[in-house]
Structure 1
Amino acid sequence: MRVLVLGAYGLIGTYVSLRLVADGHEVAGLGRRTAQAARRLPGLRWIAGDLRAMTRVESWVEPLRGIDAVINCAGVLQDGPNDKVAAVQTDAALALFRACEESGVRRVVHFSAPPSGSGTPFETTKRQADRALADSSLDWLILRPALVLAPQAYGGTALLRGLAALPFWRPRIAGAGLLHVVSVFDLAETVSRAIATPALTRRAYDLAHPASISLDDLTRAFRGWLGLAPVASGRLPGWLTAAVGRLADLAGWLGWRSPARTTALGELRQGIAVKPEPWIADILSHPVSLEQFLIAHPATVQERRFAAGYFLKPLGLVALAFFWVATGVLGLTAARGEAVEALLRGGLPDGLAPAAVVAGSVIDIALGCALLVARTARPALIGMILVSAIYLVVATVLMPGLWLDPFGALLKIVPSIVAALAMLALLPDR
């Protein structure tokens, strides 16, 4: 069967696509960043497409050509510069469903989310798409997974690993509701059976293990899975959790998809209420529990390093950005005269030294600001490494005595280069 998977390089889409390929299906993946996806998942045929712009039926004519079934794994948590919740989860989805009806693609498996009653745009747009699909003439299946467990860490489960690995204290988020979990392999198995079983149609299923768990118990379980010794836990006050959510929202508008944004916190307060019994009765009689999943996928040094460094990435990026902006501001204000005198002593002409200080300071500020924006963070880090190397070479030629400066004026540039290299390595989020 020829299957089109939307969001094929996302967390769920990756495992679903690989399972369908293993089953012998021809899988086409649709997404924005297909070049990198093709390197990660070479067994798929890739179609470049931006769901934000695919809100008309005509947008789907070519992607659906020759397709027998569609799996929609695409989803957006919250609006941002690169994400539009309504466009992706409602407008594009409705256009897709109508295009399937017109093109004769009957089978549509649509990943949604369990009803939470949170009233967030994430939840309301999911419900709108669900209703539109249910009212269509298609052979549809709506799958609503709980918190997805996967070997790959992304989104909420990545945050849980980071919280579990904090060295001296394990926070408890006030007001968090009970959760349910589901293995990503159970999701892939469900899609595999749905594609192979035409009778599984026009049904909506909650996908989850029946046992509920608190967020505190979940982070404790992850900490034990990582092989870390127990630490004291403490309740995060509501105002602090809200402040973190607002900061994460701000980061979201800079392009960073933090799982701690207010939408995620709102869904977390509601908890995940599911009724998995129909799914268990019809499709998968023994879904994997949290304990079984963790036992089957033991943590290695890679998982421990990821969890330990989870919060170091945002801290490191902010610290580097502050360092570069601060040095630039100082170069334009309090330290400008001293910097010009140092360059004059090094042999720079009178007219060139002040201009060099101003230019260097402006470059520092620009690189620091660019680092805070997700789209420009990578070139900013590369720029920091190159500019730091230039500073070292120029200073060594003009003022070699700075290597013996008791405050380490030049020596400190070396660890800043290493810090930029470390942030460059930690930058990818999947």
Structure 2
Amino acid sequence: MSAADDRPTPSLTVLVTGGRGFIGSHIVAALLERGHRVRIVTRSATASEGDERIEWLPLDLASATRPEAFSAALDGVDAIVNCAGILREVGRDRFPILHGDMPAALAEAASLRGIQRFVQISALGNPADGEFVASKHQGDARIAATLPESVILRPSLVYSAKSSYGGTSLLRSLAALPLTLLPSGGNQCTQPVAASDLARLVCAAIESQPIRRSKPYDAGGPTTVTLRDYLSAIRHWLGLPPNIAVGIPSWIAEVGATLGEWSGRGPLGLTMWRMLNRGNVCA
């Protein structure tokens, strides 16, 4: 190892979109732990709760579809992490804007400023499963076209002991039921990755020298598990006794997902179900 490898990483100012979210909050914590300063853009700016390393900047990302929208946000910024995203469209929050136009504008603004360190948090899945995944991958392509140095991460199911979101919330809910219903016997596979591990990967990406070969990287944990085993592990972690698991036809789960999609409530929707049923593992 060279002497240069022993040098501490210089402190960077990192702009984080979606910094209040499930994944974003873990990334912010990891950046701070590594000694970096963080600027979080949010619709309603709040006090930084005494942490001088965090700056809150008001910005409505649903309206930030042109590079100039990020003019103030990028002042003095060394790196960018885009964690912003939605699972469902609500009001002005639309997939094509928040997953496509906004990240593309942010990447163009970064390019104009000469900011090469850009990490995009995307999603592992097949675009045919729904607009959530399709719009994420379309946004990835637009970022890569503008910033060849960007790093695009597509995580599998992301979990944390502290909180949950999306697919993790769905699986926690299923695991807590007195009777576990397993579509197609629960043989679907996933590759869960800890939010803290994903956050450390993001830190490593922005601290590395930018490379001109942008491409999507699948991000998963070390183990591939079936839905049946994963629900059993969650139930054990929740401190619940073993229960009865019953296999059900997949069409029954799809009906439930359709109802969840129509109601717009709860973690279960058609896209989440299709991603889960197809399996969510790294290539």
2:102: which partner in 1?
92
Query: Partners in 1 of 2:154 and 2:19 — Cα distance?
Result: 17
Q: More helix by proportion, 1 or 2?
A: 1
Once the two structures are TM-superposed, the CA of residue 218 in structure 1 deviates from its matched residue by 0.7
Query: Partners in 2 of 1:274 and 1:63 — Cα distance?
Result: 34
The 5 Å alignment of 1:330-349 reads none
Please point out which of 243, 261, 278 is paired with 1:270.
278
Query: Partners in 1 of 2:57 and 2:139 — Cα distance?
Result: 23
Please point out which of 81, 84, 88 is paired with 1:78.
88
Once the two structures are TM-superposed, the CA of residue 201 in structure 1 deviates from its matched residue by 5.8
Q: Is the 8 A contact 1:108 1:138 kept in 2?
A: no
1:233: which partner in 2?
245
Once the two structures are TM-superposed, the CA of residue 190 in structure 1 deviates from its matched residue by 0.9
The SS at the match of 2:128 is coil
Once the two structures are TM-superposed, the CA of residue 157 in structure 1 deviates from its matched residue by 1.4
Query: Partners in 2 of 1:106 and 1:268 — Cα distance?
Result: 34
Does residue 214 (structure 1) correspond to residue 226 (structure 2)? The answer is yes
Once the two structures are TM-superposed, the CA of residue 85 in structure 1 deviates from its matched residue by 0.9
The 5 Å alignment of 1:158-173 reads 158-167=169-178, 169-173=179-183
Query: Partners in 1 of 2:236 and 2:212 — Cα distance?
Result: 40
Q: More strand by proportion, 1 or 2?
A: 2
Larger Rg belongs to: 1
1:26: which partner in 2?
37
Query: Partners in 1 of 2:267 and 2:50 — Cα distance?
Result: 23
Once the two structures are TM-superposed, the CA of residue 199 in structure 1 deviates from its matched residue by 4.9
The 5 Å alignment of 1:185-200 reads 185-199=196-210
Unaligned runs of 5+ in 1: 276-430
Q: Deviations over 1:109-132 (max 9, x none)?
A: 111112424342112211212212
Answer 1 or 2: higher relative contact order, Cα 8 Å, separation at least 6.
Answer: 2
Please point out which of 245, 262, 267 is paired with 1:259.
267
Query: Partners in 1 of 2:28 and 2:87 — Cα distance?
Result: 21
The structure-2 alpha-carbon separation of the partners of 1:262 and 1:115, relative to structure 1 and needing over 3 Å to count, comes to: closer
The SS at the match of 1:135 is helix
Amino acid of the structure 2 residue aligned with 1:220: S
Does residue 11 (structure 1) correspond to residue 22 (structure 2)? The answer is yes
Q: Deviations over 1:55-103 (max 9, x none)?
A: 1122111111221110011112232235311110001011111111112
Please point out which of 102, 110, 113 is paired with 2:123.
113
Once the two structures are TM-superposed, the CA of residue 272 in structure 1 deviates from its matched residue by 1.0
The SS at the match of 1:86 is helix
Amino acid of the structure 2 residue aligned with 1:46: W
The structure-2 alpha-carbon separation of the partners of 1:161 and 1:194, relative to structure 1 and needing over 3 Å to count, comes to: same
Query: Partners in 2 of 1:143 and 1:11 — Cα distance?
Result: 16
1:179: which partner in 2?
190
Deviates most, 112-121 or 66-75: 112-121
Query: Partners in 2 of 1:175 and 1:57 — Cα distance?
Result: 48
The SS at the match of 1:45 is strand
Q: Deviations over 1:9-45 (max 9, x none)?
A: 111100111111121111001122443x855988521
The structure-2 alpha-carbon separation of the partners of 1:28 and 1:175, relative to structure 1 and needing over 3 Å to count, comes to: farther
Query: Partners in 2 of 1:66 and 1:161 — Cα distance?
Result: 41
Does residue 153 (structure 1) correspond to residue 161 (structure 2)? The answer is no
Amino acid of the structure 2 residue aligned with 1:270: R
The SS at the match of 1:101 is helix
The 5 Å alignment of 1:305-320 reads none
TM-score (norm 1): 0.58
Unaligned runs of 5+ in 2: 1-11
Once the two structures are TM-superposed, the CA of residue 250 in structure 1 deviates from its matched residue by 2.9
| Dislocated runs of 4+, deviation >6 Å | none
Please point out which of 203, 222, 235 is paired with 1:223.
235
CA RMSD of aligned residues (A): 2.3
Amino acid of the structure 2 residue aligned with 1:179: T
The SS at the match of 1:144 is strand
Query: Partners in 2 of 1:119 and 1:93 — Cα distance?
Result: 21
Q: Is the 8 A contact 1:78 1:121 kept in 2?
A: no
Query: Partners in 2 of 1:101 and 1:227 — Cα distance?
Result: 49
TM-score (norm 2): 0.86
Amino acid of the structure 1 residue aligned with 2:263: A
Q: Percent identity?
A: 33
Once the two structures are TM-superposed, the CA of residue 268 in structure 1 deviates from its matched residue by 1.4
1:205: which partner in 2?
217
Query: Partners in 2 of 1:107 and 1:222 — Cα distance?
Result: 36
Query: Partners in 1 of 2:277 and 2:50 — Cα distance?
Result: 35
Q: Is the 8 A contact 1:4 1:64 kept in 2?
A: yes
The SS at the match of 1:266 is helix
